[in-house]
Amino acid sequence: MTILWAEQALLAGGWAEAVRVEVDDAGRIAGVQSGAAPQGDRHAILLPAPANLHSHAFQRAMAGLTERRGPDPRDSFWTWRQLMYRFLDRLTPDDVEAIAAFVQMEMLEAGYACNVEFHYLHHRPGGLPHDDPAEMSARIAAAARTSGIGLTLLPVLYQFGGCDRRPLGAGQIRFGNDPDGFARLVEGARAALAGLPADTRLGVAPHSLRAVTPEGLAAAIALGDGPIHMHLAEQTAEVEEVLAARGARPTRWLLDHAPVDGRWCLIHCTQMDPAETLDLAASGAVAGLCPITESSLGDGIFDGVRFLGAGGRFGVGSDSNIRIALSEELRTLEYSQRLRDRSRAALATADRSTGRVLFEGAAAGGAQAAGRAAGAIAPGAWADLVALDGGAVDLQGRKGDAILDAWIFAGDDRMVRDVWAAGRHLVQDGHHIAREAITRRYARACAGLRDAL
Amino acid sequence: MTILWAEQALLAGGWAEAVRVEVDDAGRIAGVQSGAAPQGDRHAILLPAPANLHSHAFQRAMAGLTERRGPDPRDSFWTWRQLMYRFLDRLTPDDVEAIAAFVQMEMLEAGYACNVEFHYLHHRPGGLPHDDPAEMSARIAAAARTSGIGLTLLPVLYQFGGCDRRPLGAGQIRFGNDPDGFARLVEGARAALAGLPADTRLGVAPHSLRAVTPEGLAAAIALGDGPIHMHLAEQTAEVEEVLAARGARPTRWLLDHAPVDGRWCLIHCTQMDPAETLDLAASGAVAGLCPITESSLGDGIFDGVRFLGAGGRFGVGSDSNIRIALSEELRTLEYSQRLRDRSRAALATADRSTGRVLFEGAAAGGAQAAGRAAGAIAPGAWADLVALDGGAVDLQGRKGDAILDAWIFAGDDRMVRDVWAAGRHLVQDGHHIAREAITRRYARACAGLRDAL
């Protein structure tokens, strides 16, 4: 049993002062009491640590390497994808493990407690499976053992190169499985996770409506009872392709043909019409938003005002991992709404500030999307916690919602002091406890990959 | 004479290796030589340090305090402005000096060498001038003596509350001058700057077409020969007001009625039509962009693709100072273009990466707007320099434009190791040399202002 105490904490029921949190040896919150005398491990500000609900870890090593203009006069997501394919063709299992551990460390240092890894790089260069088809999944699991982050692993089903069932392109050959191969992969991934802590989860990710057939989708979601994630409605070209092939826009098609509910997390959703937005909000699924990556790739702006207004659930993920920065991710989401609508405090409500709405939403929605009993400081939840630096000049004297506003709009990761994932105290005084070794290994992997782009 | 040496440096003519830079005792670059043996004060990466071309220092102390929803169901720039007015009504000269020094320190730590301060808070609460009408200007100058930053001070002429020449509102009463009072203020400011280093500059800032008359504008620009800055075309309501009162949109009116040339810097320009955009580009004036603040206040998106395509000059400023972050400011500019156009590498050219175009543009345009002989590493320029951390994991092994792409798109201030303003070595190993004292004084000022919002 560990006792934490904080001057201020955001509890399930709102802000409280002088809060004592008991964490049991399994890493769950055993008790929460406000108005308690200072005791145990003391902090200024304690918050629930959200899950990072969408990541492709390996893309971290490409950060900043794709900002030249491509041969296309009008560069786009699709030219970026070609670069990305060329890069990943070089990656070994050792690279993937080193990059994933580094990404998970950066997530923890940014204030995330859990990495939901949307994992599609399964096979050897050229497309042959590894001897263990779940070799790459095992490397993500090994990284999580090193970093200590909470892991929700989502092996990806990737069948075809488009809605017309064309074969995978050269750059996609390491992703491919038919539904039977995918079932074996999921079993292998389950075995690879066996040694990890009890908060680890396994789900499935049918990649997108471009890459899986209706039958493949049905087969994938029948595997297990964990989270189901899918890329959806990110790019206009994708909307057009799905509309032409299936007679409906992607979100509409999915809502009409799949049992979309709270198990589901739909990634991006930047290209929805108003009716799709409202129906997705009503479904109980989580919209998995990746505002920094969606800016970087020019995907467009999610209709957060309409979606949250209709009670929709959302969380955030760092996706391409070009920057892993929780406060910036939330700020980027809010600012995109303001730029589109020429407004301020776009997602605030009458009784909650913008920062509070963003943070509480991301904590609750992230946990739901991760299939993780977490997202709030409450008994029974995993002790996913982040402590902010009460000495930071922008946090001094701040109370309640103003704390989150200062962190998200004026601050950055440097305000994050301590992070716990299911009670594991991994970030201490601003740094991950294994920062040096993890960084050294990552830098070595990057040196080997240099000039790949 | 100081000798700096860097493995890589961005010179006026492009990237060079093994670069020796001689800085004379006045703070000017005396010589630049590439292919030199390692010597002197050694660094990994040396860049010209841009000027921060637009700041209202005191607003820094409001950062994160205005993210609640106002009484207006549709919150906007104009409700924010009410909050800002209420806040500034509390500020004393001591507060202003403490805040300005802190802001200048943060600018330096972010990689800026110069603070162009658009300074409109002149009088006592209630509107009476101080005994010295330039008291507040003197406090900005005192802050610059403390921080060491290069200062371009722009006293602001603020005559009326709108195009209809209505009197200043209660919140604006501390800003007001008629042209005669403004001339005295400018003389006072000149005296206040007398003790500062030789790179200090004085300009004028007729606030906006809402706040100055055509006669006031003419009188203001006749004072001296320094830079002329003006807020222009930030908000749609402003465009409508100017159009109704003067028969033309703000940018069009100004281009038609004022001698707009390279002395001018027009701040924001988020609301221009395509013809205004092209004509402003042709004028030789600098577009003063503040992408983080323009996101925060929902101003809208500057048409950077069209403006840069037409050879327009731009620089960036932190304006409200809600975040002072050079790399993020440039990233936000580029990402706004991508979100609007659903593109990538929006501002890149065939031979320069996105980061290079952003950085070189901001360095050259910032110097022009500051009236400062700087903006490139070349003999005769002030030694405004920033050294990046070659040990940062995202910079290891990077060459040329990829350095700027890594800093701007994957990095942040933490990559900034050393900064010189006109040869004054103010940031060393990531921290301003007077960080502790400046921060302590700022925190004390903020504690006094707490609950002002």
Contacts of B396 in chain A (CB under 8 A): 443, 446-447
- In whole angstroms, how far apart are CA A40 and each of A22, A27, A28, A320? 10, 16, 17, 39
Query: What pLDDT is recorded for position B74?
Result: 63
* Three-class secondary structure assignment of B34-73: CCCCCCCEEEEEEEECCEEEEECHHHHHHCCCCCCCCCCC
* DSSP H stretches of helix in A342-400: 354-370
Q: Which CATH architecture has domain A2-47+378-432?
A: Roll (2.30)
Query: What pLDDT is recorded for position B453?
Result: 65
- In whole angstroms, how far apart are CA B206 and each of B227, B270, B320? 11, 18, 18
CATH level 3 topology of A50-370:
TIM Barrel (3.20.20)
Between B64, B402, B446, which is nearest A65 by CB? B402
Order of strands, sheet of A228-232, starting from the edge strand that comes earlier in the sequence: A228-232, A264-268, A286-289, A313-316
Nearest residue of chain A to residue B61 (CA atoms): A394
**Predicted complex ipTM exceeds 0.85:** yes
pLDDT band at A74 (very low <50, low <70, confident <90, very high): low
**CB proximity list for B446: less than 8 A, separation 6 or greater:** A393, A396, A397, B61
pLDDT band at A327 (very low <50, low <70, confident <90, very high): very high
Contacts of A343 in chain B (CB under 8 A): 74-76, 298
Q: Is the pLDDT of residue A89 over 90?
A: no
Token couple for B346: 């929006």
Query: Residue B355 and residue A397: Cβ atoms within 8 Å?
Result: no
Query: What pLDDT is recorded for position A75?
Result: 66
Between B74, B343, B412, which is nearest A74 by CB? B343
A409, A343, A356, A404: which is closest to B328 by C-alpha?
A: A409
Written as tens digits, the pLDDT of chain B (453 aa) is: 999 999 999 999 999 999 999 999 999 999 999 999 999 999 999 999 999 999 999 999 999 988 988 766 666 788 788 888 888 888 999 999 999 999 999 999 999 999 999 999 999 998 999 999 999 999 999 999 999 999 999 999 999 999 999 999 988 999 999 999 999 999 999 999 999 999 999 999 999 999 999 999 999 999 989 999 999 999 999 999 999 999 999 999 999 999 999 999 999 999 999 999 999 999 999 999 999 999 999 999 999 999 999 999 999 999 999 999 999 999 999 999 999 999 999 999 999 999 999 999 999 999 999 999 999 999 999 999 999 999 999 999 999 999 999 999 999 999 999 999 999 999 999 999 999 999 999 999 999 887 766
Nearest residue of chain B to residue A441 (CA atoms): B393
Contacts of B354 in chain A (CB under 8 A): 67-69
Among A121-130, A144-153, B81-90, B108-117, the minimum mean pLDDT is found in: B81-90
Contacts of B345 in chain A (CB under 8 A): 66-70, 75
Q: What stretch(es) of chain A map to CATH 3.20.20.140?
A: 50-370
Q: What is the pTM of this model?
A: 0.97
Q: Is the pLDDT of residue A76 over 80?
A: no
Contacts of A239 in chain B (CB under 8 A): none
Are the CB atoms for A208 and A231 separated by under 8 Å? Answer: yes
Among A170-174, A189-193, B16-20, the minimum mean pLDDT is found in: A170-174
Query: Residue A67 and residue B355: Cβ atoms within 8 Å?
Result: yes
Nearest residue of chain B to residue A75 (CA atoms): B344
Are the CB atoms for A61 and A449 separated by under 8 Å? Answer: yes
The secondary structure of residue B258, as a DSSP letter, is S
Q: How far apart are CA B115 and CA A84, in angstroms?
A: 39
Q: How far apart are CA B76 and CA B63, in angstroms?
A: 16
Only one residue has tokens 């995993």, namely: A382
pLDDT band at A291 (very low <50, low <70, confident <90, very high): very high
Query: Residue B348 and residue A405: Cβ atoms within 8 Å?
Result: no
Q: Is the pLDDT of residue A450 over 80?
A: no
Query: What pLDDT is recorded for position A81?
Result: 86
- b/e for B407-423, b at 16 or more Cβ within 10 A? bbbbbbbebbbbbbbbb
Give how far B30 is from chain A: nearest CA, Å: 33
What does residue A11 show for φ and ψ, rounded to 5 degrees?
Answer: -95, 175
Are the CB atoms for A337 and A358 separated by under 8 Å? Answer: no
The secondary structure of residue B319, as a DSSP letter, is B
Token couple for A303: 């209709």
Query: What pLDDT is recorded for position B72?
Result: 67
Among A261-275, A358-372, B80-94, B416-430, the minimum mean pLDDT is found in: B80-94
Query: Residue A343 and residue B409: Cβ atoms within 8 Å?
Result: no
Q: How far apart are CA B438 and CA B425, in angstroms?
A: 17
Element (H, E) at B288: strand B286-289
Query: What pLDDT is recorded for position A73?
Result: 60
Give how far B445 is from chain A: nearest CA, Å: 11
Between B70, B297, B348, which is nearest A69 by CB? B348
Contacts of A406 in chain B (CB under 8 A): 63-65
CA A55-A208-B331 angle, to 5 degrees, is 45
The residues of B annotated with a catalytic role in the active site are: 268, 319
Give how far B306 is from chain A: nearest CA, Å: 14
CA B67-A338-B51 angle, to 5 degrees, is 85
- One-character DSSP codes across B151-190: EEEEEEE---SSTT-PPPPGGGTTT---HHHHHHHHHHHH
Nearest residue of chain B to residue A68 (CA atoms): B353
Are the CB atoms for A90 and A83 separated by under 8 Å? Answer: no
Give how far B219 is from chain A: nearest CA, Å: 34
Q: What stretch(es) of chain B map to CATH 2.30.40.10?
A: 2-47+378-432
The secondary structure of residue B410, as a DSSP letter, is I
Q: Is the pLDDT of residue A79 over 80?
A: no
Q: How far apart are CA A207 and CA A188, in angstroms?
A: 19
Residue to test with chain A: of B59, B68, B77, B396, most A Cβ within 10 A: B68
Q: How far apart are CA A308 and CA A277, in angstroms?
A: 10
Q: What mean pLDDT, rounded, does chain A reach?
A: 96
Q: Is the pLDDT of residue A83 over 90?
A: no
User: Long-range contacts made by residues A14-20, C-beta under 8 angstroms, separation at least 24?
Assistant: A15/A399, A15/A400, A15/A401, A19/A46, A19/A377
Are the CB atoms for B305 and B281 separated by under 8 Å? Answer: no
* DSSP H stretches of helix in A111-234: 135-147, 179-192, 214-221
